Structure 1
Amino acid sequence: MKYKILIIDDEKDICFLISEILSDENYTTSSSHNSSEAIENFNKFKPDLIILDVWLDKSQMDGLELLKYFKKINKYIPIIIISGHSTVDMAVQAIKDGAYDFLEKPFDTNKLLIITKRAIENSKLIEENIELKKINYENYNIIGKSQFAINIKNILKKISPTTGRVLIYGPPGSGKEIIARNIHNLSLRKDKSFVIFNCASINPESIGENLFGSTLNDQMSFIERANGGTILFDEIADIPIEIQGVVLKFLQESTYQKIGSNEDYTSDVRIITTTNKNLEIEVEKGNFRSDLFYRLNVIPINIPSLENRPEDIRLLCDHFIKNSHYYNNKHISIAEDAYAVLESYSWPGNIRQLKNLIDRILIMHNDKSKEIIINAAKLPQDMGEINSKNTNEKMDVLGLPIKDARESFERKYLISQIRRFNGNMTMVATFIGMERTALYRKLKSLKINSDNYK
């Protein structure tokens, strides 16, 4: 795809020179020499980027006024300001008004090309984020009615509009990224990029280059892509100790250096981090810098495992069914015996495992019938396994005598219902269809203290 660039400068020679440079790099260009021409050209040419001179002789509007005008029409279009008589105040004001960057004349050709390429890449990334947000907005909602779900929604409303750094703790698959995306979507940066830097999946030897960039190539670094928006350091505990110092410097000064350069670059980003490890223990072991930990741990959020929020499972199931690629507008319901198993299962893979399970069931039962009822028989056989927390051993109920198997299931089932109704024994008794006195006798026989599970 050939990107279109509008060049606005009162000097025709400058317009011609920039046009020739950009044309050699396969860009399509158009030039204007005053504000009237520029506005007309902007509407007809529909550029992907604008290169705009500050001083426009014999023009009704100067470059900074045009910058504001174009940004009112299209706030996402990248604009590079150029000037041969610039001041620091002018450059700062231009950036505040929405300019992507500021170049002084005479400018280096390579620098112009690099900034042009990055400005367009950043603009397209923002557009993609906006489109993805429209498509997937519901998928980033926090689903549930548990006390955690209620509390976290209130917390996010308070912290999202701020610039405070957030450190999200939680086991794998528990929804840490969803929390991070909610923070971004509720923040003042919601129209800017949300960039994920996965500390665990990138080659440790190239983390610095991927994160901050290199003078050896012109690829946008993660920090550059996130400029103005939010960057999520996913599994921050896995970042090498030697890179932690560089990250700390960036947090302290908002400046960084690319690999192979001594020049300082700046980037305005909000930092969110996630981890499934206890960072305080990692600090004690010497695997994580204490000064970096305290910089990141400004607003800690702890996400419980799905096992500890069984009352959210029904709403999550309904959400995953309706958003599954295999839904096909069928009438799908989950029977009570299936919910009994789902709500008493340990969920080692947490929410991600539940989502995958729903997809799996819909694939396996995606026949021509218009109605699908998911009962316990349709669940995987290993869902009958229960975890013994005291011994860390797995016991398959299918291998137990019927009396022991029944006790194991009843114990897990009743504990999940007590948690689900926050210890309200009247509601528990009503839901499971037992008299309250009979329920207490059952709890006593199974040695369950309801006070431990409120």
Structure 2
Amino acid sequence: MKKILIYDHDRTFCLRLAEWVDKNKFEVRYSDDHKVARKLIANGLFDIIVIYVSCLLCDGMRLATDILDLRPTTPVLCALDKDDNALLIRLIQKGATDYIDKRFINRKNFNLLVSRIVPDKESREELYEYQGTQYRECISKAKMFAPLIAPLTIFGESGVGKSVIARRIFNDSHIFNKVFVSAKCSLMDVASAPEQLVGTGSRKSPGLFEQAFNGTLFFDEIGDMPLAAQAILSHAIEDGVYYPVGLSNPVRFNARIITSSSKD
């Protein structure tokens, strides 16, 4: 059974999310104590963690940062109760998977989001049936590419579900039990983008390449990736190695690359 951790000082909100989650698929834990939450995460692997990052009482932002450093491959879903684009950009650059707005979230949207982030066979089929005919045809076509190890680019207009297609390809691949790391290229800072990819050679600051080792690395809107980072990515794909900041010896690169783009 998959595990989900909900971190918030608002017990009512925790209980509401816990009630929404399918008890046959998830074991739910929740906490409002930073030390307790860190201990839970250290002692047991969670498939997804929901953190109320706007909470000053339980210092959700600090926990989110700690978790993204401690377990960079674990999906972190950030909960907010106000518009804060600067905070969202910081969290997504750090490695957060997605976010929810506590003011507007409902059962259907929450479960659909969770099923996309932590899919299983049943939830994948539910999502598949939910979509229209054209979308299902696209999914069927994507299955043909799932067994391949070659880099793949998904073209389509913004908002049509390219990230969902990428997840589907990953779920149907032979490495579905490995990690899936997603990065939004439009949020990459020009100066720090190369370091985001290769890391610093320190376990405390792994880059996206290291986080996705043996798994799948998805770049959303690859055309928005800074040129310096594009050059590093191209070199890693072609030569199979990269150089973390501060290290002179090459590090092996081994991740399936999927990208999306709304531009030619």
- TM band (smaller chain): 0.5 to 0.7
**SS state of the match for residue 153, structure 2?**
strand
**SS state of the match for residue 213, structure 2?**
coil
Cα separation, partners in 2 of 1:137 and 1:265, compared to 1, 3 Å: farther
The equivalent position to 2:229 in structure 1, one of 234, 239, 243, is: 243
Residue 146 of structure 2 is matched in structure 1 by: 160
- 1:125 and 2:74 matched: yes
Residue 267 of structure 1 is matched in structure 2 by: 253
Partners of 2:233 and 2:244 lie apart in 1 by 12
Given that residues 195 and 230 in structure 1 are in contact (C-alpha distance below 8 angstroms), is that contact kept between their aligned partners in structure 2? Answer: yes
- 1:174 and 2:156 matched: no
**SS state of the match for residue 204, structure 2?**
coil
Q: For residues 220-260 of structure 1, what are the alpha-carbon distances to aligned partners after superposition, in whole Å with 9 as ceiling and x for unaligned? A: 21111111111101110011222222111101122110112
Unpaired segments ≥5 residues, structure 2: 1-41, 45-67, 78-113
**SS state of the match for residue 250, structure 1?**
helix
Partners of 1:261 and 1:152 lie apart in 2 by 43
Equivalent residues in 2 for 1:3-402 (5 A)? 121=71, 125=74, 132-134=118-120, 137-138=123-124, 141-142=127-128, 143-146=130-133, 148-215=134-201, 218-278=204-264
Q: For residues 287-319 of structure 1, what are the alpha-carbon distances to aligned partners after superposition, in whole Å with 9 as ceiling and x for unaligned? A: xxxxxxxxxxxxxxxxxxxxxxxxxxxxxxxxx
**TM-score where L is the length of structure 1:** 0.32
**What amino acid maps onto 1:162 in structure 2?**
L
Given that residues 140 and 178 in structure 1 are in contact (C-alpha distance below 8 angstroms), is that contact kept between their aligned partners in structure 2? Answer: no
Cα separation, partners in 2 of 1:237 and 1:211, compared to 1, 3 Å: same
Partners of 1:254 and 1:183 lie apart in 2 by 22
Unpaired segments ≥5 residues, structure 1: 1-46, 50-117, 279-454
Q: For residues 189-241 of structure 1, what are the alpha-carbon distances to aligned partners after superposition, in whole Å with 9 as ceiling and x for unaligned? A: 11111111111112111111111101477212111111111110111001122
**What amino acid maps onto 1:144 in structure 2?**
Q
Partners of 1:203 and 1:263 lie apart in 2 by 26
Cα deviation, residue 125, structure 1: 2.6
Given that residues 141 and 182 in structure 1 are in contact (C-alpha distance below 8 angstroms), is that contact kept between their aligned partners in structure 2? Answer: no
Partners of 1:141 and 1:273 lie apart in 2 by 22
Q: Number of residue pairs matched?
A: 165
Cα separation, partners in 2 of 1:270 and 1:194, compared to 1, 3 Å: same
Partners of 2:121 and 2:191 lie apart in 1 by 35
**What amino acid maps onto 2:258 in structure 1?**
I
Partners of 1:135 and 1:152 lie apart in 2 by 18
**SS state of the match for residue 133, structure 1?**
coil
**What amino acid maps onto 2:74 in structure 1?**
L
Residue 356 of structure 1 is matched in structure 2 by: none
Partners of 1:202 and 1:261 lie apart in 2 by 23
**SS state of the match for residue 184, structure 1?**
helix
Partners of 2:123 and 2:205 lie apart in 1 by 29
Cα deviation, residue 127, structure 1: 11
Cα deviation, residue 186, structure 1: 0.6
**What amino acid maps onto 1:243 in structure 2?**
A
Q: Which structure has the higher relative contact order (CA within 8 Å, separation 6+)? A: 2
Given that residues 140 and 182 in structure 1 are in contact (C-alpha distance below 8 angstroms), is that contact kept between their aligned partners in structure 2? Answer: no
**SS state of the match for residue 272, structure 1?**
strand
Percent identity between the two aligned chains: 24
Partners of 1:199 and 1:152 lie apart in 2 by 24
Cα deviation, residue 139, structure 1: 9.2
RMSD: 3.7
**What amino acid maps onto 1:239 in structure 2?**
M
Q: For residues 382-403 of structure 1, what are the alpha-carbon distances to aligned partners after superposition, in whole Å with 9 as ceiling and x for unaligned? A: xxxxxxxxxxxxxxxxxxxxxx
Partners of 2:122 and 2:189 lie apart in 1 by 29
Residue 92 of structure 2 is matched in structure 1 by: none
**TM-score where L is the length of structure 2:** 0.53
**SS state of the match for residue 175, structure 2?**
coil
Residue 326 of structure 1 is matched in structure 2 by: none
Partners of 1:141 and 1:256 lie apart in 2 by 37
Given that residues 126 and 192 in structure 1 are in contact (C-alpha distance below 8 angstroms), is that contact kept between their aligned partners in structure 2? Answer: no
Given that residues 197 and 234 in structure 1 are in contact (C-alpha distance below 8 angstroms), is that contact kept between their aligned partners in structure 2? Answer: yes
Cα separation, partners in 2 of 1:184 and 1:277, compared to 1, 3 Å: same
Given that residues 182 and 217 in structure 2 are in contact (C-alpha distance below 8 angstroms), is that contact kept between their aligned partners in structure 1? Answer: yes
**SS state of the match for residue 204, structure 1?**
coil
Given that residues 212 and 257 in structure 1 are in contact (C-alpha distance below 8 angstroms), is that contact kept between their aligned partners in structure 2? Answer: yes
Partners of 2:119 and 2:131 lie apart in 1 by 21
Q: For residues 140-169 of structure 1, what are the alpha-carbon distances to aligned partners after superposition, in whole Å with 9 as ceiling and x for unaligned? A: 8344343x3343232122211221321111
